[in-house]
Amino acid sequence: MKLTLRRFMLAAFALTALVVLALGDEPEAVLGKINFAGLFDAAPILPTSTADAAKRVLGADIEADLVSRDFSAFYAPYEKKIAAAHEVLQPAVDSRPANQEARTRQAVAGANSSAIIARMGGAEKMSQMSEEEQQQAAAQAMGSYQQSMSGAPPGASSGGMQAMMQRMMNDPEYQARFEKMSKKEQEAEMQKYMGNANAPAPPKGETAAERRAEQGQHDAGAAVARQNEVSAIYQRIREIEAEFAKKDAAISTAPGNHDQIGRELNAKIEKVPMVETGVGATHDPAKVKQLMRERAALDRARAAAELQQRTALYSERRTKYKELAASYAAWLKQGAGPNSNITTSLMNNSAADTALHCEEELIGLAENLRKYHEQTTRDAAMYEQQYQKNLKEM
């Protein structure tokens, strides 16, 4: 028979394993409704210079408190687009926990409808078994099922079939040899274990049950592949920010960075001659002030260089985000295959739920663009402010 051990094992365990994947309500109604490429393109452009950054944050008041300065109104249009994207997904997000229990019950019921799992006592009983007990129950169930599929009379030895299944489970060489046999050789082997050499031969050709099993296996395999594809996209979306964080850190720590400027200028200050003042000896204030102006100019120049690099990185991020969104859109366009059995249904539902998470993460990338834009703008404005203040003190 074509229904060999691998197919039995798939039928016996795939359904119960997939019960845990039954998460939430079906989100298909909202998937693919958001224009992510447009959302990323709508992110505001970074300032072109440190002076532009200071003007954007501080306005005309260069002396204003930069830390507490609120310029959220600048981001309001983009945040409105992000909020609109969240609203598209919210119905599916809200319904997910409310429907989790119902989906799980559906999955268990579907698993219990399997002839193999029913012979093992049902999904709940299987969950209470040890691994060894599951193997023994599976051998008995598959032996019984194989006997019923073989066309053998009811009185034929079920114990022999169970012994055969047990051997196949514990003897990989025997299993491999059995699966390489011709159909007639497999039939003879089964009849030998059943202890009835005169047992009637199985039906000629594929039975309806075999065709259904083969179709179900094919559809389930396609559903598993589809789930794996969207899971890989989801994982990539979650990983990409770490890569950009590393690139951004490299900009901050490259030679000539602000920390290095500070250390070198402090070393110069330590070499400034001491002079007497009304409150005691100190480094010559006039020379220290000149060094502070020098530091402010160096910091401003460094900030301008970093702003250019971060502008390029910002552009690269948007491009990568759009590529991820395109990969996801291409996956979504393929569509799910038919739900020919409960396994396929569960995998397709699981893939749709992962897709919903993908869209949530893609919106999160748009939010990250907004945060990065503000932090970069504030940093550039800070060094421009320090430079301008030092000029005023000349």
State the pLDDT at residue 17.
44
State the pLDDT at residue 111.
62
The 10s digit of each residue's pLDDT in 249-303 is: 999 999 999 999 999 999 999 999 999 887 888 999 999 999 999 999 999 999 9
Distance CA 144, CA 116 (A): 9
The 10s digit of each residue's pLDDT in 81-103 is: 999 999 999 999 988 876 566 66
Identity of the residue numbered 297: A
The residues, ordered by sequence, that sit 6+ positions from 74 with a Cβ below 8 Å of its Cβ are 44, 56
Q: Of 30-39, 44-53, 155-164, 376-385, which gets the smallest average pLDDT? A: 155-164
Tell me the percentage of the chain whose pLDDT exceeds 70.
Answer: 68
Handedness of CA 379, 381, 387, 392 (dihedral sign): negative
State the pLDDT at residue 167.
73
CB 343 within 8 A of CB 19: no
Q: Torsion angle of alpha carbons 347, 348, 351, 353, nearest 10°?
A: -110
Residue 148 has pLDDT above 80, yes or no: no
CB 366 within 8 A of CB 39: yes
| Mean pLDDT of the 350-377 span | 95
Identity of the residue numbered 5: L
The 10s digit of each residue's pLDDT in 187-207 is: 777 777 666 555 555 555 555
Residue 149 has pLDDT above 70, yes or no: no
Helix, strand or coil for residue 282? strand
Residue 21 has pLDDT above 80, yes or no: no
Q: Looking at residue 200, what DSSP letter applies?
A: P
Q: Looking at residue 206, what DSSP letter applies?
A: -
Alpha-helical (H) ranges within the chain are 5-18, 36-41, 50-58, 76-98, 100-112, 115-119, 123-127, 131-150, 158-170, 172-180, 183-193, 208-253, 258-270, 285-334, 342-392
The 10s digit of each residue's pLDDT in 160-180 is: 666 766 676 677 788 778 778
CB 313 within 8 A of CB 301: no
Neighbours of 140 (CB within 10 A): 18
The whole-chain average pLDDT of the chain stands at: 81
Helix, strand or coil for residue 358? helix
| Mean pLDDT of the 339-354 span | 77
The residues, ordered by sequence, that sit 6+ positions from 359 with a Cβ below 8 Å of its Cβ are 30, 31, 34, 36, 89, 328
State the pLDDT at residue 349.
80
Give me the helix-helix angle, 5-18 and 131-150, nearest 10°.
130
Distance CA 116, CA 131 (A): 16
State the pLDDT at residue 269.
94
Length of the chain: 394
Between 254 and 107, where is the model more confident?
254
| Mean pLDDT of the 349-373 span | 94
Residue 3 has pLDDT above 50, yes or no: no
Residue 277: beta bridge partners? 280
Distance CA 377, CA 126 (A): 59
State the pLDDT at residue 6.
45
Q: Torsion angle of alpha carbons 42, 43, 48, 49, nearest 10°?
A: 160
Distance CA 342, CA 67 (A): 57
Residue 1 has pLDDT above 60, yes or no: no
φ and ψ of 42, to 5 deg: -80, -10
